[in-house]
């Protein structure tokens, strides 16, 4: 369905299908194992399509399922056009796309083109000799400079055969591609067209703001030719195809964000910006150094992005992904009875905003961080490398574990908790990664049984987005910024208004507000304590109201 809308300037604007969609992110390795080898797989996703349809999502984003030695769980790709046999076959992937299409669900794939695996045939050739035709597909220097890898250590690795160093912003098994090489770029576009031809719904683009790097000037993100490359990519591949393209851009700030997603520039549909994620980072320090979270900062950041994208832009809305700790353990309360209330509050807060919401597997059942004290329970290469690095730097084990419990990427990668069965019903074999022991309380089967579960709050929010134009298109305005307990805002479109009011904490709090004429769209308590202009908000209480004149 295409709707004609008017933006502020009065010009006609078409509502794109991805502006009324909700995306569900699947980390295939940890979603559902269909053949008992302990590893989630594509047939396993197909088996769970009823569950996703029940939730009501429109799009699935699959983390990489391509051939890979799995040094970085599939973000080190050795063949872009082959499916990793651990996950199934090309036929399985085609079947998934087909079955999804039958249900009106699109599948978007992860495009990892900042780097390949060192096992990719391009790199195998490239390192043979400096005059090999593939040598220039990667970035080589006679001398390394002091650029560091995001996973720790130098970003340069020596290859004796060519007596040169190659650049890798991630592990040394993930050499960076040389985007200055037009032949390399054309090969990437060919591969993208291969997948477009297979009928995918679009791409999530891994660390795409790094492809314009200038290593000799220590420029990593937002290099001088970045947008030229993205425009070329669009022209050569998806430009006329009406696909969803979302760029992972850790380097996006309010000032440069629209360069990626202003439709007139013909680059991407939207980006993932990480400013709200970085609120637990100490500026200039390592990301594992801990910082207390501040809710007013969260209000400011989310509200800033709402207004940055108000005209000629579009936000992605997400709390979680496979690199991040669980939201209920981050901004909510993952202990006992408050887990459910705070997970619902955070869902209502985010899904009331303007943009395309992304739900990460397990978020809809309130999965929490992992909290293991055994470092071998964290297989992620980043955690393993940084753990060693920090031990060497003199941090105590307890100290490092505190950071891991808060920040490790594996917090988001434990297997999906389907039921109370062994291994949370994820596999009948030995799971590739430990299951979070709280699956007895936290699991999908339990949620599906109880109408007041987190799952149904998400289901309601997804449905509301479809039904409500003000939810999709209304202008956002933060209310009462200074209130230290409550996050509240409104959305306005013509004669409709939505208000979202969230008590961010466990303590009860009172809020002076006129709710005359309002109807409750959704809430996380069955009733409201509202008397003579005072709303009394209980622990983590959240309500979304609408006024329709």
Active site members:
206, 248
Q: Is 150 in the site for ligand TEU (CB under 6 A)?
A: yes
Q: Which is nearer to Ca ion, 319 or 426 (CB)?
A: 426
Q: Is 66 in the site for ligand TEU (CB under 6 A)?
A: no
Q: How far apart are CA 549 and CA 497, in angstroms?
A: 9
Token pair in block for residue 50 = 């009823």
Sequential DSSP letters for 128-175: T-TTSTTGGGB-EESS--S-B-TTSSBSEEEETTTTEEEE-SS-TTSP
The kind and range of the H/E element at 421 are: none
Binds ligand TEU (CB under 6 A): choice among 57, 112, 167, 513: 112
Phi first, then psi: what are they for 11, rounded to 5°? -85, 150
Closest CA to 309 of 501, 494, 464, 475: 475
The Cα-based distances of 548 to 367, 414, 469, 520, 545 in angstroms read 36, 43, 12, 12, 10
Q: Is 118 in the site for ligand TEU (CB under 6 A)?
A: no
Q: Is 32 in the site for ligand TEU (CB under 6 A)?
A: no
Q: Is 72 in the site for ligand TEU (CB under 6 A)?
A: yes
Considering all CA atoms of the chain, what is the largest pairwise distance in Å, rounded to the nearest integer? 80
Asked if 135 and 129 touch (Cβ cutoff 8 Å), the reply is yes
Stretch that binds Ca ion, among 32-40, 391-399, 444-452, 502-510 (CB under 5 A): 32-40
Residues in contact with ligand TEU, shown as a per-residue x/- string from 316 to 355 under the rule CB under 6 A: ------xx--------------------------------
Residues in contact with Ca ion, shown as a per-residue x/- string from 37 to 76 under the rule CB under 5 A: x-x-x-----------------------------------
Asked if 100 and 111 touch (Cβ cutoff 8 Å), the reply is no
Q: Is 92 in the site for Ca ion (CB under 5 A)?
A: no
Q: Is 118 in the site for Ca ion (CB under 5 A)?
A: no
Q: Which residues pair with 6 in a beta bridge?
A: 12
Interacting partner of 39 out of Ca ion, ligand TEU, none (Cβ under 5 to 8 A depending on kind): Ca ion
Q: Is 358 in the site for ligand TEU (CB under 6 A)?
A: no
Q: How far apart are CA 466 and CA 469, in angstroms?
A: 8
Min separation Cβ 101 and Ca ion, Å: 24
Interacting partner of 35 out of Ca ion, ligand TEU, none (Cβ under 5 to 8 A depending on kind): Ca ion
Stretch that binds Ca ion, among 35-43, 77-85, 348-356, 431-439 (CB under 5 A): 35-43
Min separation Cβ 436 and Ca ion, Å: 19
Closest CA to 18 of 245, 278, 210: 245
Asked if 408 and 378 touch (Cβ cutoff 8 Å), the reply is yes
Binds ligand TEU (CB under 6 A): choice among 31, 32, 66, 75: 75
Q: Is 385 in the site for Ca ion (CB under 5 A)?
A: no
Q: How far apart are CA 33 and CA 415, in angstroms?
A: 10
Q: How far apart are CA 478 and CA 297, in angstroms?
A: 13
Q: Is 446 in the site for ligand TEU (CB under 6 A)?
A: no
Interacting partner of 118 out of Ca ion, ligand TEU, none (Cβ under 5 to 8 A depending on kind): none
* 89-104 per-residue burial string, b: 16 or more CB within 10 A, e: under 16: eeebbeebbeebeeee
Q: Is 287 in the site for ligand TEU (CB under 6 A)?
A: yes
Please identify the residue of the shown chain whose CB is closest to the bound ligand TEU: 323
Min separation Cβ 62 and ligand TEU, Å: 13
Stretch that binds Ca ion, among 26-34, 187-195, 255-263, 344-352 (CB under 5 A): 26-34
Q: Is 227 in the site for ligand TEU (CB under 6 A)?
A: no
**E strand map for 249-340:** 270-272, 316-318
Q: Is 409 in the site for ligand TEU (CB under 6 A)?
A: yes
CA atoms within 13 A on the CB side of 14: 8
Kindly state the number of chain residues that form the binding site for Ca ion, as judged by CB under 5 A.
Answer: 5
Interacting partner of 112 out of ligand TEU, Ca ion, none (Cβ under 5 to 8 A depending on kind): ligand TEU
Q: Is 89 in the site for Ca ion (CB under 5 A)?
A: no
Asked if 206 and 114 touch (Cβ cutoff 8 Å), the reply is yes
The Cα-based distances of 65 to 27, 79, 120, 171 in angstroms read 9, 10, 15, 19
Q: How far apart are CA 23 and CA 359, in angstroms?
A: 6
Min separation Cβ 379 and Ca ion, Å: 16
Interacting partner of 287 out of Ca ion, ligand TEU, none (Cβ under 5 to 8 A depending on kind): ligand TEU
Phi first, then psi: what are they for 475, rounded to 5°? -75, 140
Q: Which residues contact 516 (CB under 8 A, 6 or more apart)?
A: none
Q: Which is nearer to ligand TEU, 249 or 453 (CB)?
A: 249
Interacting partner of 41 out of Ca ion, ligand TEU, none (Cβ under 5 to 8 A depending on kind): Ca ion
Token pair in block for residue 75 = 């973000």
Interacting partner of 87 out of ligand TEU, Ca ion, none (Cβ under 5 to 8 A depending on kind): none
Q: Which is nearer to ligand TEU, 355 or 412 (CB)?
A: 412
Please tell me whether residue 217 adopts helix, strand or coil conformation. Answer: helix
Interacting partner of 409 out of ligand TEU, Ca ion, none (Cβ under 5 to 8 A depending on kind): ligand TEU
Interacting partner of 395 out of Ca ion, ligand TEU, none (Cβ under 5 to 8 A depending on kind): none
Binding site for Ca ion (CB under 5 A): 33, 35, 37, 39, 41
Binding site for ligand TEU (CB under 6 A): 72, 75, 112, 150, 170, 206-207, 248, 250, 287, 322-323, 409
């Amino acid at each position: 369905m295409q709707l004609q809308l008017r933006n502020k300037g009065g010009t006609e604007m078409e509502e794109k299908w991805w502006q009324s969609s909700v995306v569900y992110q699947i980390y295939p390795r940890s979603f559902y194992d269909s053949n008992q080898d302990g590893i989630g797989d594509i047939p396993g996703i197909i088996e769970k399509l009823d569950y996703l349809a029940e939730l009501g999502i429109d799009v699935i984003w699959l983390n990489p399922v391509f051939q890979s030695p799995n040094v970085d769980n599939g973000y080190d790709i050795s063949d872009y056009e082959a499916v990793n046999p651990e996950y199934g076959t090309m036929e399985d992937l085609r079947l998934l796309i087909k079955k999804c299409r039958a249900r009106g669900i699109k599948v978007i794939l992860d495009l990892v083109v900042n780097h390949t695996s060192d096992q990719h045939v391009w790199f195998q050739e490239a390192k043979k000799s400096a005059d090999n035709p593939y040598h220039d597909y990667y970035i080589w220097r006679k001398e390394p400079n002091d650029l560091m890898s995001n996973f720790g250590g130098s970003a340069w690795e020596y290859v004796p055969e060519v007596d040169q160093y190659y650049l890798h912003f991630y592990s040394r098994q993930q050499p960076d591609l040389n985007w200055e090489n037009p032949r390399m770029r054309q090969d990437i576009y060919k591969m993208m067209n291969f997948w477009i031809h297979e009928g995918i719904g679009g791409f999530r683009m891994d660390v795409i703001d790094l492809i314009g790097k200038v290593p000799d000037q220590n420029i990593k993100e937002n290099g001088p030719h970045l947008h030229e490359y993205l425009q070329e990519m669009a022209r050569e591949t998806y430009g006329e195809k009406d696909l969803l393209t979302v760029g992972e851009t850790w380097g996006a700030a309010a000032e440069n964000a629209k360069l990626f997603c202003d439709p007139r520039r013909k680059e991407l549909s939207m980006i993932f910006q990480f400013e709200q994620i970085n609120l637990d980072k100490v500026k200039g320090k390592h990301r594992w150094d801990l910082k207390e979270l501040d809710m007013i900062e969260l209000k400011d950041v989310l509200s800033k992005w709402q207004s940055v994208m108000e005209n000629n832009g579009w936000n992605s809305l997400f709390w979680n992904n496979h690199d991040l700790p669980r939201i209920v353990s981050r901004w909510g309360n993952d202990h006992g009875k408050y887990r459910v209330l705070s997970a619902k509050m955070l869902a209502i807060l985010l899904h009331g905003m303007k943009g395309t919401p992304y739900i990460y597997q397990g978020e809809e059942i309130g999965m929490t961080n992992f909290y293991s004290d055994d470092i071998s329970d964290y297989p992620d290469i980043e955690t393993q490398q940084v753990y060693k690095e920090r031990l060497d730097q003199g941090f105590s084990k307890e100290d490092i574990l505190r950071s891991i419990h808060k920040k490790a990427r594996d917090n988001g990668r434990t297997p999906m908790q389907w039921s109370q069965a062994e291994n949370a019903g994820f596999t009948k074999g030995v799971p590739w990664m430990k299951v979070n022991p709280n699956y007895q309380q936290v699991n999908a089967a339990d949620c599906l049984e109880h109408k007041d579960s987190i799952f149904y709050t998400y289901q309601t929010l997804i449905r509301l987005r479809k039904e409500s134009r003000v939810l999709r298109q209304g202008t956002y305005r933060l209310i009462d910024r200074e209130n230290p307990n409550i996050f509240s805002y409104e959305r306005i479109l013509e004669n409709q208004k939505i208000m979202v009011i969230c008590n961010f904490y466990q303590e009860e709090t009172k809020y002076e507000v006129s709710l005359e004429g309002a109807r409750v769209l959704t809430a996380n308590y069955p009733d409201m304590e509202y008397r003579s202009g005072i709303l009394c908000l209980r622990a983590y209480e959240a309500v979304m109201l609408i006024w329709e004149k």
